Structure 1
């Protein structure tokens, strides 16, 4: 049996409170409630706002500073940094953008970076996979086509793209892809995303084209098939309401 001391329990509560303050302030900053170059509330006001201690507020601010969202200056206060100074490869920053009320510009940027590395990953994977890898990709395509709810569809899509990135054999691509796909998953699961059910079979077919190209070792075809999937997904976001790609 594990004995939890009073001090340990107190530290855990403080950690939870800090995470809550980080999440609430981070969401507000990303949503534009505190525009760039403006000051966030002073520490006593934040303590009252969230019902936490000054220690919690200080730790939360340190975390947000590390994420690039805010900057603190002695005798001046803490102001919000410009959006181009934020750490966009921080998991929380990505999540806050994906769940914002209007993530259109964020999705455009997400589309741009996916077009840079995912087609290259598909080309890299072509011809270097075994039958077990292909069976898994085919099974994920089947899951896309058969999904009867948004969560199952989003998870199948996430796992498909993650698998292609893994098959590229490049660890940098895998790590980068994990972050981007997590953001895409959050975006797809957000409340402003439209229905997917009328497009799931066509989406699955486009993913199957990627598998076929990878299986045949056709790097150009694999690159182009992945590009079409990403482009089609983006078009559906712009024209009809988001669908994952």
Structure 2
């Protein structure tokens, strides 16, 4: 299966009817077309809207219920749940937010979570990564500096690097936040790219190389700080895009 980032870059639609209904209905809920607290239209109306069978529709509704977005109520219907009950670690929900438009508060909260998880992952990688893993991370970091990068290829390279740090941390629980990191990088890709800035690619590569150098020295504090810097630079770039700076179309 393609990753969330690859799907966004390629523009390839969801393949199965089930996936398409989940995607479209999820976006409709996130966008506020079906507001929190509202009752969704009945099965016949939704099946007609999405041109699917009731069986496909019901499976899609189960998927959204598992994400915490809706809850069926006997003799009432299916209600949209409060946002605090949504599983915001779910990569689909995060991607729908970016598709529907995000504000600075949303991005700030997302970056705060990344700062908590990824900086600690970098510190753990400095403690636990094998020499082979460190060499692999360095190859990925250096490759981010290739002058031929497009916004799309740089986004993929960025994702591979950050997931490699998570993997090298050796903590299986941290691996579960891969979807959150991917969705965050989808947002960076859609809103802004350093490829549009003079020297932007070189700066990105240098910043990521510093993370690997700290990991290679087994310097947990330096690895944490280097990762923190990368995340904060990305956050500043998105804020600039949202405030009317150089944004990616």
Q: What TM-score do you get using the length of structure 2 for normalisation?
A: 0.83
Q: Deviations over 1:23-48 (max 9, x none)?
A: 11011111221111012212121122
Residues of 1 paired with 2:38 and 2:22: CA distance? 18
Q: Deviations over 1:162-217 (max 9, x none)?
A: 111111111111222x1122212322343xx1242122211211111111111111
Within the alignment, does 1:80 sit opposite 2:99 as a pair? no
Contact 2:129 2:169 in 1 (8 A): no
TM-score of the superposed pair, with normalisation by structure 1:
0.84
**Misfit runs of 4+, over 4 Å:** none
Q: Is the 8 A contact 1:115 1:230 kept in 2?
A: yes
Q: Which has the larger radius of gyration?
A: 1
Aligned residues: 226
Q: What does 1:30-45 align with in structure 2 at a 5 Å threshold?
A: 30-45=30-45
Q: Secondary structure at the match of 1:78?
A: strand
| Residue 52 of structure 1: aligned partner | 52
- Structure 1: which 5+ residue stretches go unaligned? 1-14
Q: Secondary structure at the match of 1:88?
A: coil
CA distance in 2, matches of 1:125, 1:35: 42
Residue in structure 2 matched with residue 21 of structure 1 by the alignment: 21
Say which SS state the counterpart of residue 99 (structure 1) adopts. Answer: helix
Distance (whole Å) between structure 2 residues aligned to residue 80 and residue 64 of structure 1? 10
* Residue 5 of structure 2: aligned partner: none
User: Does the CA contact (< 8 Å) of 2:129 and 2:170 recur in 1?
Assistant: no
Shift of 1:79: 1.6
Instruction: Check if 1:136 corresponds to 2:148.
Output: no
- 1:147-172: CA deviations, max 9, x gaps? 52012101111111111111111111
Match of 1:182 in 2: 182
8 Å Cα contact 1:127/1:216 also seen in 2: no
